[in-house]
Chains A and B, each alone.
Chain A
Amino acid sequence: MYKIVAKQKLNHLVEKMVIHAPFVARKCMPGQFIILCVEEGDERIPLTIQDYDREKETVSIIYQIVGYSTQKLAQKEVGDTLAHFAGPLGVASVLHNSKRRVLGIGGGVGAAPLYPQIKELQAQGVSCDVILGGRDKDYVILQDEFKAVSNELFFATDDGSLGTKGFVTTVLNELLAKGRQYDEVIAIGPLPMMKAVVSVTKPLNIPTMVSMNPIMIDGTGMCGGCRVTVGGQTKFACVDGPDFDGFEVDFDEAMRRQSMYKKQEQHICNLKLGGGTNA
């Protein structure tokens, strides 16, 4: 059993939890994730490790409430326990500290997995600009944390309540138009966002790493459910990723595969929780 030692609401759909999980905390690295079951018999859901404390043997996760399992997770409070918490899984991000200028782009809850990477790069002396995007200003999470580790921080919101009105790519295009140069872009967020970023960076040949979030079960390479096509080859995101070269990823296939259980997901939400969140 894995104890919840802290919990914080970041906005009305996004929360942070700190969990006591010694085996994960001792070894995890930026870019890796865990798989948890809220209660015995529940679905296994993957979440990125947002931060960790090796001494206290704790791991932080940030999750957006989108459906049944995340809603059930949100019902747990400090002092409660989670049935299962396995990890760290996936390969750690390859952080090219030889790169001098990096642009981080985080969409919605994608800011969470982006944060430890930018923090690490900054600590290594890399100059990082960051663009955070969200529906409105409440959905742009970790603003203060990013302020502390980025060279310049930009925002994009759908309604213009914070930063530029528009998408993260609106800001990206502006920066590039102004002549900003980057050696690498790290984009983490919803698949359509990462696809849009790559459609800007690929023609300009700015190397772009993306983080894939396919449906997973075991997270250890046992089921093959998480397969993504990268450079024409099938990869298992849980063991070969989740980070991949954005130029090579087949985003259309990934989006299609992610919607495989749409019907069942809605069904279970309506049935067991009385209406989904439509997120």
Chain B
Amino acid sequence: MPNMRLDKVKMPEQAPDIRNKNFEEVARGYTEDMAIEEATRCLHCKQRFCVAGCPVNVPIPEFIEEVAKGDFEKAYEVITSENALPAICGRVCPQENQCEGKCIRGKKGESVAIGRLERFVADYVMNHTDITIEKAGSNGIKVAVVGAGPAGLTCAGELAKMGYEVTLFEALHEVGGVLVYGIPEFRLPKELVAKEVQKIVDLGVRIEKNVIIGKSITIDELIEEGYSAIFVGSGAGLPNFMHIEGENLNGVYSANEFLTRSNLMKAYDFPNHPTPIFVGSKVAVVGGGNVAMDAARTAKRLGADEVYIIYRRGEEELPARREEIHHAKEEGIIFKLLCNPVKIHGKEGRVSHIECVNMELGEPDASGRRRPVVQEGSEHLLDMDTVIIAIGQSPNPLIRSTTPGLDVQKWGGIIVNEETMETSKENVYAGGDVVTGAATVILAMGAGKKAAHAIHEKLKK
């Protein structure tokens, strides 16, 4: 008889007024008992709605069944048959729109806590068993992967398992892409990313850091060097600005810069790590996605007294994961919704105020979301020391501008054949944010995996 309680087993968390002063992980993870109890809520539906909601088709009821039996290693095997990075996905997937969003239990009460269970299983295995990774015998075929984010890491890992000699080129000095420079420690511990990366190294993938494709070497030169196929997973790392007056004042950051300083360069640990960051007492974060929530919660932890999320649409439209919005509110982040900045004012070159207008929601636009319109005469000033712009990122032009024959969308995304992820250039594949624009970790992984298999199909002939 399944456990019919309506709500998920609660996740142990650090208390909001404690965690908003440290960078340790907010959610502590289930204990074994909690995981087993939550697992018994699954109905093992014949029609696996949850699986249909997962972009990589994790066999959800099957792994949950193993959790309920207490066989966590078996559960791990089941998950990793489809998902190579469960510890990461369990933490950062927008489950409410994916697996959990489709779960039948969500119709009445809360869905099964699929993400939390996935995380539990991955953490359990990481902490309790030595996973030995067997290197596949080499088939002698060289493949290059550009960018070490979730798309590139997954593609490299899959190809290595099939015996390819994979070299992964990364522009930065750390591997992981957004997982290391964007998503903060309190949501995704970097130690965990490092462990996942180590597995990929153990599979035989060679990692070349500090190599910027398009600058240090071009795609065409990689082909000349004998790489039979190339996968481009360079992400969407170019920050968008608003192009309003005052955006270059001291104290205005892109979310990428602010988060990179804090996460990748560990400015939160200044001066033990020498990269500085400026926060001040009042911080405005412009935008309403995961990136904005991460920037706001980071600013709070760095000591800001008041942190505002300024977003031009309403609560319903906030694109961030529900859990992050909820956590941000608990931590004291102030939401100014239906509000849009029009100018940043400065004093002696530093930010002093942000000028905003109020918005109303009008008719739905092409995306189906109601379009915000300015309320006449609603201009107002808010005192600020720092403004962080988190209104989106687009693909970096370095690769497309140095790769003749590579077709791209107007907004810069690389165009691919969706069946194979191959680009307009033969044997050059692409996937992840560089194809879709800023999306999710799991979609990037899915694309990397799909490309790996398409590369294999083509090269094995």
Which of A221, A224, A271 is most buried by chain B, counting CB atoms within 10 A of its CB? A224
For the complex, is A89 an interface residue (Cβ under 8 Å from B)? yes
Binds A, one of B113-121, B194-202, B256-264: B256-264
- Complex formed: what's the CA distance from A166 to B247 in Å? 37
Q: Are A271 and B271 in contact (CB under 8 A)?
A: yes
Minimum CB–CB distance from B222 to chain A (whole Å) comes to: 12
Q: Are A239 and B398 in contact (CB under 8 A)?
A: yes
Q: Are B250 and A224 in contact (CB under 8 A)?
A: no
B200-246, CB < 8 A from A: 208-212, 215-217, 237-239, 241, 243
Which of A27, A69, A218, A239 contacts B274 (CB under 8 A)?
A: A69
Q: Are A218 and B250 in contact (CB under 8 A)?
A: no
- Complex formed: what's the CA distance from A277 to B197 in Å? 40
Minimum CB–CB distance from B246 to chain A (whole Å) comes to: 11
Binds B, one of A3-11, A196-204, A262-270: A262-270
By beta carbon, the residue of chain B nearest A258 is B250
Which of B215, B270, B271 contacts A27 (CB under 8 A)?
A: B215
By beta carbon, the residue of chain A nearest B237 is A222
B260 neighbours in A (Cβ, 8 Å):
217-218, 222-223
- Complex formed: what's the CA distance from A123 to B173 in Å? 36
Q: Are B266 and A220 in contact (CB under 8 A)?
A: no
Overall SS of chain A's interface? mixed
Which of A37, A87, A223, A271 contacts B257 (CB under 8 A)?
A: A223
Which of B171, B239, B243, B275 contacts A86 (CB under 8 A)?
A: B171
Q: Are B215 and A89 in contact (CB under 8 A)?
A: yes
Which of A69, A220, A267, A272 is most buried by chain B, counting CB atoms within 10 A of its CB? A220
For the complex, is A44 an interface residue (Cβ under 8 Å from B)? yes
B264-287, CB < 8 A from A: 265-266, 270-271, 273-276, 278
Which of B173, B217, B256 is most buried by chain A, counting CB atoms within 10 A of its CB? B173
- Complex formed: what's the CA distance from A40 to B270 in Å? 15
A26 neighbours in B (Cβ, 8 Å):
216-217
For the complex, is A194 an interface residue (Cβ under 8 Å from B)? no
Which of B216, B250, B253 contacts A24 (CB under 8 A)?
A: B216
Q: Are B238 and A234 in contact (CB under 8 A)?
A: no
By beta carbon, the residue of chain A nearest B216 is A23
Q: Are A27 and B247 in contact (CB under 8 A)?
A: no
For the complex, is B80 an interface residue (Cβ under 8 Å from A)? no
A62-88, CB < 8 A from B: 68-69, 83-88
For the complex, is B403 an interface residue (Cβ under 8 Å from A)? no
A119 neighbours in B (Cβ, 8 Å):
none
- Complex formed: what's the CA distance from A41 to B241 in Å? 29
Q: Are A257 and B253 in contact (CB under 8 A)?
A: no
By beta carbon, the residue of chain A nearest B276 is A264
A222-279, CB < 8 A from B: 222-225, 227, 229, 234, 239, 253, 256-257, 259-261, 264-265, 267-268, 271-272
Q: Are A27 and B216 in contact (CB under 8 A)?
A: yes
For the complex, is B356 an interface residue (Cβ under 8 Å from A)? no
- Complex formed: what's the CA distance from A42 to B278 in Å? 18
- Complex formed: what's the CA distance from A41 to B173 in Å? 10
For the complex, is A53 an interface residue (Cβ under 8 Å from B)? no
Minimum CB–CB distance from A37 to chain B (whole Å) comes to: 6
Which of B210, B241, B256, B265 contacts A43 (CB under 8 A)?
A: B265
Q: Are A268 and B239 in contact (CB under 8 A)?
A: no
Which of B172, B251, B254, B349 contacts A224 (CB under 8 A)?
A: B254
B237 neighbours in A (Cβ, 8 Å):
220-222
Q: Are B396 and A222 in contact (CB under 8 A)?
A: yes
Minimum CB–CB distance from B176 to chain A (whole Å) comes to: 14
B212 neighbours in A (Cβ, 8 Å):
86-87, 89, 220
Which of A88, A239, A259, A267 contacts B216 (CB under 8 A)?
A: A88
- Complex formed: what's the CA distance from A272 to B274 in Å? 9
By beta carbon, the residue of chain A nearest B173 is A84
Q: Are A41 and B273 in contact (CB under 8 A)?
A: yes
Which of A87, A218, A257, A260 is most buried by chain B, counting CB atoms within 10 A of its CB? A218
For the complex, is B397 an interface residue (Cβ under 8 Å from A)? yes
Minimum CB–CB distance from B115 to chain A (whole Å) comes to: 28
Minimum CB–CB distance from A110 to chain B (whole Å) comes to: 23
- Complex formed: what's the CA distance from A260 to B267 in Å? 15
Q: Are A264 and B270 in contact (CB under 8 A)?
A: yes
Q: Are A43 and B396 in contact (CB under 8 A)?
A: no
Q: Are A265 and B172 in contact (CB under 8 A)?
A: no
Q: Are B256 and A222 in contact (CB under 8 A)?
A: yes
Which of A23, A41, A217, A222 is most buried by chain B, counting CB atoms within 10 A of its CB? A222
B265 neighbours in A (Cβ, 8 Å):
43-44, 217
- Complex formed: what's the CA distance from A51 to B406 in Å? 33
- Complex formed: what's the CA distance from A271 to B265 in Å? 19
Contacts A68-B274, A256-B349 given; does A225 touch B257 at CB 8 Å: yes
By beta carbon, the residue of chain B nearest A236 is B238
Q: Are B216 and A83 in contact (CB under 8 A)?
A: no
Q: Are B173 and A83 in contact (CB under 8 A)?
A: yes
Q: Are A222 and B210 in contact (CB under 8 A)?
A: no
Which of A24, A83, A224 contacts B239 (CB under 8 A)?
A: A224
Closest 10 pairs between A and B when the two form their complex, measured CB to CB: A264-B276, A86-B210, A223-B257, A256-B349, A224-B254, A84-B173, A23-B216, A222-B237, A261-B276, A268-B271
Supply 6 further A-B pairs (C-beta < 8 A) apart from A86-B212, A220-B398.
Answer: A87-B216, A223-B254, A223-B257, A224-B257, A225-B253, A260-B250
Q: Which residues of B contact A (CB under 8 A)?
A: 171-173, 181, 208-212, 215-217, 237-239, 241, 243, 247-248, 250-251, 253-254, 256-257, 260-261, 265-266, 270-271, 273-276, 278, 349, 396-398
Can you list 25 A-B contacts (CB < 8 A)?
A27-B217, A37-B173, A43-B274, A68-B274, A69-B274, A84-B173, A86-B210, A218-B172, A218-B260, A220-B212, A221-B238, A221-B398, A223-B254, A224-B239, A224-B256, A224-B257, A225-B257, A229-B248, A234-B247, A253-B248, A259-B250, A260-B250, A267-B271, A268-B270, A272-B271
